[in-house]
Amino acid sequence: MDAGGTTERMADYLRDHRDKVVDRWSELVIAGVRGRTSFEEVRRELRDLYSLVVRVLSESDDHAVGELRAALDELSRSRARDGFTPTETALGVFSLKDAVYELVADTAELAPEFLVFSRMIDDLGLRTFESYSAAREQIITDQSTAMMELSTPVVRLWDGIIAVPLVGTLDSARTQLVMEKLLDTLVATGANHAVIDITGVATVDTEVAQHLLKTVSAARLLGAECTISGIRPQVAQTIVSLGIEFGDIATKATLADALALALRQAGLKVVQALEPLFCDIAGFSNCRS
Amino acid sequence: MERVPIIKIGQTLFVSIQIDLQDDTVMRLQEDLADELSATGAHGVIIDITAVEIVDSFIGRMLTMIGSISRLFDAETVIVGMRPAVAITLTELGLSLSGVRTALNAEKGLEILNGKT
């Protein structure tokens, strides 16, 4: 008995029992995914996959193999995006074996055919798993890139005064990015003063402090003065107990204090108007008129 | 060996470095600057390094030394136009250019020398 004939017979068998197998397969899959997709949708997806499996078995041409792989990759990717676990995703393929086995269990003469079929499904299952992990890796990379981009805004507070509000955890990669962006903005805007606000930074350890000090000295080399603001009480305690010295770098409790300092150094003064100013902007309803 | 020209404008010596700095170029600049300061009695030195893309620890140290030498002639040194990448390099090398003032551009550097800030 040659392998070609075996797969050919298996393909014929699967083609004959198509609806029965697909229905049973869909039932097994839907039981595993616990109502996150509809039966009809699963059935449609699996019917396409099933046709491809049959085509691969009957023709064994590269074209069908490629199509089946692409379909599997696509399915695994969408499963990964929808938050399915690896097991659930792989079981989606492996349960085809169960569905077919239930049918051929009684007919002993199909044993060699089922063995070939089973090997093929195992390969497909492994492939599913691989593309699932690749998709997850991709998602993680995309998210960290997005986070990097979102996490380093440099805002202009006043003429010649810029601020960097830092939120989250500071690691070397992020601090490097913050430093570069801050320095680039200083050069681009010609600002003399920068405020680094760390209100959103939960913990400051020696490494983070080191990074902050480096950023401040780099800004000084460009000719800009830096103030660190928004040090929280717990952070202040940590800094002192770790013995970190900020030296001659100005630190302020709030961003407002830092802005006030920057304005003072720029020779600007904020004064209270003697009378409330009248707004002449039409439609500006918050103003008293 | 290339030489960096020193231009005297009023009471200020203006040095614009347009070439890649070599060790001997910087040493020559230091000597020339000392001669010029002694000859002219200038009260300020502006060193423009906008065009400098690469620095090493030696050049960083020489810049500090130029600052110290100038102070002996009662002149203040302002380094202007440093690129962010250069600033990061110097910081990573642990050089903070103490004793030298810095400014974003030549204009702001002149303001510092003229006592506006």
Kindly compute the dihedral angle of the four CA atoms of residues A120, A124, A129, A134, in this order, to the nearest 10 degrees: 140
Q: Do A192 and B108 make contact, defined as CB atoms within 8 angstroms? A: yes
State the Cα–Cα distance between residues A160 and A186, nearest whole angstrom: 9
CATH of the domain at A119: 1.10.490
- Using alpha carbons, select from B80, B69, B66, B65 the residue that is nearest to residue B113: B80
Measured between CB atoms, which of B79, B87, B105 is closest to A190? B105
Check pLDDT > 80 for residue B75.
yes
Residues in chain A within 8 Å Cβ distance of B91: 214, 217-218, 221
Residue pair A215/A175 in contact (Cβ under 8 Å)? The answer is yes
How far apart are the two ends of chain A, measured CA to CA in Å? 98
When scoring A177, A221, A246, A265 by the number of chain B Cβ atoms within 10 A, the one with the most, hence best to mutate, is: A221
Check pLDDT > 80 for residue B90.
yes
State the Cα–Cα distance between residues B6 and B73, nearest whole angstrom: 16
Q: What is the pLDDT of residue A145?
A: 84
The residue ranges of DSSP E strands in B29-88, in sequence order, are 44-48, 76-80
Does A134 lie in the same domain as A182?
Answer: no
Phi-psi region of B63 (alpha: psi -120 to 50; beta: other; left: phi over 0): alpha
Packing angle, helices A86-104 and A18-33, rounded to 10: 150
Number of domains in chain A: 2
**Residue A173 sits at the chain B interface (C-beta within 8 Å):** no
| Structure tokens given for A245 | 């010295």
**Residue A169 sits at the chain B interface (C-beta within 8 Å):** no
Q: Decide if A274 is inside a domain.
A: no
Q: What is the pLDDT of residue A284?
A: 55
**Residue A111 sits at the chain B interface (C-beta within 8 Å):** no
Q: Which domain holds residue A73?
A: 3-144
State the Cα–Cα distance between residues A250 and A9, nearest whole angstrom: 82
Q: What is the pLDDT of residue B103?
A: 93
Give the homologous superfamily in CATH for domain B6-113.
Answer: STAS domain (3.30.750.24)
Measured between CB atoms, which of B84, B86, B104 is closest to A190? B104
Summarize pLDDT for B6-53 with one digit per residue, the tens. Answer: 999 988 999 999 888 888 888 899 999 999 999 998 999 999 999 998
User: Angle at CA B25, nearest 5°, toward B24 and B29?
Assistant: 115
Residue B83 pLDDT level (bands cut at 50, 70, 90): very high
Kindly give the pairing relationship between strand A161-167 and strand B12-16.
Answer: unpaired
| Structure tokens given for A190 | 């010609």
Q: Is B91 exposed, middle or buried (0-12, 13-18, 19+ CB in 10 A)?
A: buried
Q: Decide if A226 is inside a domain.
A: yes
Q: Is A272 exposed, middle or buried (0-12, 13-18, 19+ CB in 10 A)?
A: exposed
Instruction: Measure A250 CA to nearest chain B CA, in Å.
Output: 17
**A276 DSSP assignment:** P
- Tens of pLDDT along chain A (289 residues)? 445 577 777 788 888 888 888 888 888 888 877 667 788 888 888 888 888 888 888 776 677 888 888 888 888 888 888 888 888 888 888 888 888 888 877 776 777 778 888 888 888 888 888 888 898 899 899 888 887 777 778 899 999 999 999 888 777 778 888 888 999 999 999 899 999 999 888 888 888 888 888 899 999 999 999 999 998 888 888 888 888 888 888 898 899 999 999 999 888 888 888 776 665 555 555 554 4
**Residue A210 sits at the chain B interface (C-beta within 8 Å):** no
Does A224 lie in the same domain as A122?
Answer: no
Summarize pLDDT for A130-168 with one digit per residue, the tens. Answer: 888 898 899 899 888 887 777 778 899 999 999 999 888
Q: Where are the domains of chain B?
A: 6-113
| Structure tokens given for B16 | 């614009």
Q: What is the pLDDT of residue A277?
A: 64
The percent of residues above 90 in pLDDT, for chain A, comes to 16
When scoring A177, A213, A222, A268 by the number of chain B Cβ atoms within 10 A, the one with the most, hence best to mutate, is: A222
Q: Decide if A149 is inside a domain.
A: no
State the Cα–Cα distance between residues A51 and A57, nearest whole angstrom: 10
Phi-psi region of A223 (alpha: psi -120 to 50; beta: other; left: phi over 0): left
Number of H helices, E strands in chain B: 4, 5
CATH of the domain at A223: 3.30.750.24
Q: What is the pLDDT of residue A128?
A: 87
Please give the single-letter amino acid code of residue A254: T
Q: Do A223 and B80 make contact, defined as CB atoms within 8 angstroms? A: yes
Does A138 lie in the same domain as A202?
Answer: no
Q: What is the pLDDT of residue B33?
A: 92
Instruction: Measure A249 CA to nearest chain B CA, in Å.
Output: 13
Q: Decide if A277 is inside a domain.
A: no
Output phi, psi for A236, to 5 deg.
-60, -45
Between chain A and chain B, how many beta carbons pairs sit less than 8 Å apart?
A: 57
Q: Decide if A150 is inside a domain.
A: no
Residues in chain B within 8 Å Cβ distance of A180: 84, 88
